[in-house]
Amino acid sequence: MIVLIFLICLAASTIGGICGIGGGVVIKPLLDATGVMSVSTLSFLSGLTVLAMAVVNVWKNRKSKAIDAGRSLPLGIGAAVGGVIGKQIFQSLKAAVGSDQLVGLVQAIVLGILVLGTLLYVRNKSRIRARSIRNPWLCGAVGAVLGMLSSFLGIGGGPMNLAVLYYFFSMDTKQAAINSILVILLSQITSLGATLVSGAVPAFEWGVLAAMASAGILGGLLSAKLQKKMSAEKVDVLFQILLVIILLICVFNGWKAVGGI
């Protein structure tokens, strides 16, 4: 089973890194569907996997012209704050409902809605006039919302990052992908910090953590390399295919969660 988990995380981290969605948006719902671990444990380990991928990817792209300090830095700071808020919302929901199945259902529904909205936007973005926000406070607010959603969903990122970066900052696919990974990196650092400080670390197997983290690191290296070779058009096509797959997985997980309640 560990080998299967490693391969899933490697593929998700590589493709997610190229597209800028982190990989957790694939890892979380796909492993959720297999039922190999609890929702809390999967959210925690998925976040760590994506954090490992993001550290490597951002380091490899640190000199990229796509990173604009005037916008990227406030986005990242906002994401860091949002990461803490999202983790607190997740813990509060878990304590309130007391059921992993119900928490998983809520996550599947929210993620499914976000993925569907992103797919519709991406398919029609050529007909939608994009903005170009420069105000650092607004950049920070956008980053906070993205960080909060990513942390709450336990996916360490998400397709909504790209849609938001397309619309509010007029970024092309490759620019949005690199900035999205930066947002993911900072939101996951603070999300992990909040989990450690609150003592809410779920039970997990160290072997599984090692397999997922190493897959994230390798995926970060591969994605950074492939990202530079692929055109924005190819990244866009890959992103849309991935959205459809994620949407189908969300529907399956929602149906499964309803049956388990």
- The domain limits of the chain are 2-260
Specify the long-range contacts of residues 244-250, CB closer than 8 Å, at least 24 apart.
244/119, 245/26, 246/25, 246/26, 246/29, 246/111, 246/115, 246/159, 247/112, 247/115, 247/116, 247/119, 249/26, 249/29, 249/30, 249/33, 250/29, 250/108, 250/109, 250/111, 250/112, 250/115
Average pLDDT along the chain, 261 residues, taken 10 residues at a time = 87 83 74 76 83 84 72 84 83 77 78 85 85 89 86 69 86 80 80 82 88 90 84 83 83 71 57
Taking residue 241's Cβ as centre, other Cβ atoms within 10 Å add up to: 12
- Whether the CB-CB separation of 159 and 115 falls below 8 Å is answered with yes
Q: Identify the pLDDT of residue 18.
A: 85
Q: Identify the pLDDT of residue 227.
A: 78
Q: Identify the pLDDT of residue 156.
A: 56
Residues 70-81: pLDDT tens digits? 787 888 888 888
Q: Identify the pLDDT of residue 137.
A: 93
